[in-house]
Amino acid sequence: MEYEKLLASRTKLMEANAIREILKVVSKPGVISLAGGIPSPQSFPMDIINEIVQKVLKNYSSSAFQYDLTEGFMPLREQLSLLLKTRNIKSSPESINVTSGSQGVLDSIAKLLISKGDKIALEAPSYLGAISAFNPYEPEYIRMDMDDKGLIPQSLELALINHKIKFIYLVPTFQNPTGRTLSIERRKKIAELIIRHNALLIEDDPYSALRYQGEDIPPLKTFAPDNVIYISTLSKIFAPGLRIGFYAAPDFLSKWLVLTKQGVDLHTSTFNQALAAEYLKGGYLENHLPKIKALYKPRRQAMINAMEKYFPDNFTYSRSDGGMFLWVQGPQDFDMIDLYKKSVDNGVAFVPGKFFFTDKTEGINTMRLNYTMADEATIDYAVKKIAQSISQCD
């Protein structure tokens, strides 16, 4: 059979996730990876998992293993409502829906909203997982500028004036890939803009709970509740393998997103949702989150210290108070792909930043470094090795 002929036209936009392809190199034995975008397994609450499982079996018994509502397992939605309250978002349990990771809601949003050629406004660079959720629906991307304080509001305003934007997609706090956080002043300004332009904004917030210093900044959703779909996940504060994402959206969109998800996977694992409910309910998260932060905070500091120590002065990085990444910029025209190849040969991997830009000419001199997967000594050693590779690049 000639299978190629069967593919739908949309598949031309579906490329293998470049990062995953790059990570294949990383699995070479002996290579230290600062390329990952995943939490450390040491951050998982393994010591209490069994206790949580026993509570689930006792409290929910067979109902934790049965089909459940597409909207989500109600005891979890109740807990998520309380969690969002701590982030200043007022959402009833009924208006919070659970998805199979935050990827699940990105897919549903794309399926529900994007017609071919619709314009999506993205900050440059952007989160790759979102782009891979949007691509199959054949949108056009409108890029917006960002700096160390996140998206530049004037750039959003220009996009809204010059284009019919279907929605804006942002990771406003500790962004992947840059680690940057949108300042509160800009959040207010952006809220004002989207309200004035009747624009919908997707606020993807996987990282805000991982703040190592500085003060919490309220989500964009709090400044423009009717214009924002707020997305978050338990992947970084519980366990990613359980695939628990969630969102709070305006009611009309929620109803449709649930209908969309029904055709995709019926519902998210009941058992895993029950585990998450007990994790939140039992005060486990409250006790465990400080341990996760205590694990990552010195790793971040070790990376900053090592860059200060080893990197040339014309290499700069974004200040970031939390999350999982630091973003490095080399001198203009410095080719990070070239550095990447040298660096992997020298035993250290990272992600060249150009992969995070929809404009293929951008970001050639940037890289993303992850600090959650390696300990402080390894980070120091790895950054030193990268610096050595940099010195081979003239």
Within 124-153, the residues that bind a copy of itself by CB under 8 A are: 129, 132-133, 135-137
Within 228-247, the residues that bind a copy of itself by CB under 8 A are: 235, 239-243
Instruction: Tell me whether residue 271 or residue 311 sits nearer to a copy of itself (CB atom).
Output: 271
Instruction: Tell me whether residue 146 or residue 191 sits nearer to a copy of itself (CB atom).
Output: 191
Within 23-42, the residues that bind a copy of itself by CB under 8 A are: 38-39, 41-42
Considering only 12, 21, 162, 266, the residue that binds a copy of itself (CB under 8 A) is 266
Residue 195: exposed, middle, or buried by beta-carbon count in 10 A (0-12, 13-18, 19+)?
Answer: middle
Within 158-217, the residues that bind a copy of itself by CB under 8 A are: 166-167, 198, 200
Size of the site for a copy of itself (CB under 8 A): 80
**Piece of 171-179, 251-259, 286-294, 299-307 that binds a copy of itself (CB under 8 A):** 251-259
Considering only 20, 90, 163, 309, the residue that binds a copy of itself (CB under 8 A) is 20
- By CB under 8 A, is residue 295 in contact with a copy of itself? no
**Piece of 85-93, 108-116, 179-187, 300-308 that binds a copy of itself (CB under 8 A):** 108-116
Considering only 16, 24, 29, 283, the residue that binds a copy of itself (CB under 8 A) is 16
Query: Which amino acid belongs to residue 210?
Result: L
Considering only 158, 253, 295, 304, the residue that binds a copy of itself (CB under 8 A) is 253
- By CB under 8 A, is residue 264 in contact with a copy of itself? yes
Short-list 26, 107, 11, 2, CA closest to 349: 26
- By CB under 8 A, is residue 277 in contact with a copy of itself? no
**∠ CA 365-135-237, rounded to 5°:** 75
Shortest distance, CB of residue 329 to a copy of itself, whole angstroms?
28
CB 275 within 8 A of CB 78: no
Binding mask 41-80 for a copy of itself (x = CB under 8 A): xx-x-x--xx--xx--x---xxxxxxxx------------
Instruction: Tell me whether residue 97 or residue 235 sits nearer to a copy of itself (CB atom).
Output: 235
Considering only 214, 263, 312, 331, the residue that binds a copy of itself (CB under 8 A) is 263
Considering only 270, 320, 343, 389, the residue that binds a copy of itself (CB under 8 A) is 270
Instruction: Tell me whether residue 138 or residue 335 sits nearer to a copy of itself (CB atom).
Output: 138
Considering only 59, 95, 183, 262, the residue that binds a copy of itself (CB under 8 A) is 262
